[in-house]
Amino acid sequence: MVSIPSVGIIGSGKYVPDRILTNQELEQMVETNDEWIVTRTGIRERRLVAPEQATSDLGYEASKIALKAAGLTPEDIDLIIVATITPDMFFPSTACLIQEKLGAKRAAAFDLSAACSGFIYGLATASSMISSGLYKHVLVIGAESLSRITDYTDRNTCILFGDGAGAVVLGPVPEGRGFKSFVLGADGAGGELLKVGGGGSRMPSSTESVTGKHHFIHMAGNEVFKFAVRIMGGAAEEALEKAGYTKEDIDLLIPHQANIRIIQSALNRLDLPEEKAMINLDKYGNVSAGSIPIALAEAVEQGRVNEGDCLVLVGFGGGLTWGASVLIW
């Protein structure tokens, strides 16, 4: 019998642009205030891409760090998956642009669209491809330049989003470690709740699509909030059950960084104290597909992840979509 290799994360890295946009600056742009933003979301500041940067630049920087941590060269990579809703352009894919920048000449490359759940969808895809024997080393990147699709006159959305990228290298790991389960889900009926409607084949770019602000994120915040509260704890519990673990086994929860109140509701449901969650949304806001890999890379940097630890990754987002995974480090 051919044994299925265990697959895990063998290197991680993050990159956020230098420019910080504070709540105080937002007070000058829309009718809001620091106190409202902090109490309703937990966010204090977020990063913005420089005018000359785009999503592939952010993903490239994070990837270099992840490759170094894995002790691999770009030529060792068999496949690059980029989870993003803010690609540099429609095509070529951001994954192809990063492949070229890295010089990962042997790698296949494609983008994956599952909004804020995209990184977990990417991990599940890469992990399956490695355990099937198709590939050995896959670079999975979550990268976003959300400031490019954010309407800075809309206080309902502009306070939430930021830019950045996280990257991981997946490869074979010793038995007993690595990914133990994945849960992926979607509910297309909720698609209207969170979307950028313009610029695609349904509403091609036009003067009307620009003046109608259809190239910006539109969100029914309250509805998304209710969905998120329901799905975060539920998806995490399902992933634990599938893996044969319980909530008592969790060493660190790495949730999507959308809103501190959503994270707290997941912690309540899982009976976990706040110290057991990696929370950095105060510094970066919601970076969509970038949030979970940035949080993961930062947890590793801070020494919060040790060999054998049980990590639960969980996210939700536009689509609607959700995803969760149990990972033994």
Binding site residues, ligand COA, CB under 6 A: 32, 36-37, 40-41, 116, 155-156, 159, 194, 219, 221-222, 224-225, 228, 258-259, 286, 317
Output the smallest distance, CB 127 to ligand COA, in A. Answer: 23
Output the smallest distance, CB 29 to ligand COA, in A. Answer: 10
Residue 234 CA to residue 227 CA, distance in Å, equals 11
Instruction: Name the residue nearer to ligand COA (CB basis): 98 or 314.
Output: 314
Burial of residue 274 (number of CB atoms within 10 Å: 0-12, 13-18, 19+): exposed
Residue 92 CA to residue 96 CA, distance in Å, equals 6
The DSSP string of 202-268 is SS---HHHHHTTTTS-EE-HHHHHHHHHHHHHHHHHHHHHHHT--GGG-SEEEE--S-HHHHHHHHH
Decide if 294 contacts 166 (C-beta within 8 A).
yes
The DSSP string of 100-146 is HHHT-TT-EEEEE--GGGHHHHHHHHHHHHHHTTS-S-EEEEEEEEG
Output the smallest distance, CB 296 to ligand COA, in A. Answer: 17
For CA atoms 29, 213, 50, 75, the dihedral sign is: positive
The set of catalytic residues is: 116, 256, 286
**Integer Rg of the chain from CA:** 19
Output the smallest distance, CB 4 to ligand COA, in A. Answer: 33
Instruction: Name the residue nearer to ligand COA (CB basis): 36 or 152.
Output: 36
Decide if 279 contacts 299 (C-beta within 8 A).
no
Output the smallest distance, CB 255 to ligand COA, in A. Answer: 11
Q: Measuring CA to CA, which residue among 258, 194, 262, 274 is closest to residue 233? A: 262
Output the smallest distance, CB 154 to ligand COA, in A. Answer: 9
Instruction: Name the residue nearer to ligand COA (CB basis): 173 or 258.
Output: 258
Decide if 138 contacts 82 (C-beta within 8 A).
no
Instruction: Name the residue nearer to ligand COA (CB basis): 16 or 193.
Output: 193
